[in-house]
Amino acid sequence: MSVGAVFVQGLIGYLITIVVAFATAGLIAVLVKGLRARQPAVPIAAAPVVVSATPDEAEIKRRVAVVAAAVASVAGRTRVVRIEEAMVPGVWRTTGRAMHHRSHTPRR
């Protein structure tokens, strides 16, 4: 097979792909318009959101239990002593980066 024939065959395959993509997009557009025409537009009223300034104690306990369960499933038989926010934001990220960079520095 010559280079020209391979080029033409590749071009034909590419054009077929484009035609199929446009046909699929057109079919989807027709289906969406048809489905939208069958359903009347119903206005949806947003429900009022109640936000409390103080955190819910039950939610905090649930989250602590979830974090403790995740730690136990990953670390095995360990004891979670305390779960709280770090005093410095991003301290876990910074410590992880430092450990990663130290892991592949040349040793003399």
What's the mean pLDDT in 73-83?
78
pLDDT tops 70 at residue 81: yes
- Six token digits for residue 26: 């057109």
Whole domain around residue 95: which residue ranges? 57-103
On whether residue 108 sits in a domain, the answer given is no
Q: Which residues are CB-contacts of 80 (< 8 A; sequence separation ≥ 6)? A: 67, 68, 71, 72
Residues 99 and 67 in one domain: yes
pTM for the complete prediction? 0.35
pLDDT score, position 19: 97
- Six token digits for residue 45: 């009223």
pLDDT score, position 107: 66
Number of domains in the chain: 2
Residues 61 and 99 in one domain: yes
On whether residue 11 sits in a domain, the answer given is yes
On whether residue 80 sits in a domain, the answer given is yes
Q: What are phi and psi of 87, to 5 degrees?
A: -65, -35
Write the pLDDT tens digit of every residue in 9-33: 999 999 999 999 999 999 999 998 8
Write the pLDDT tens digit of every residue in 36-66: 877 776 777 888 887 777 778 888 888 888 8
- Six token digits for residue 19: 């035609």
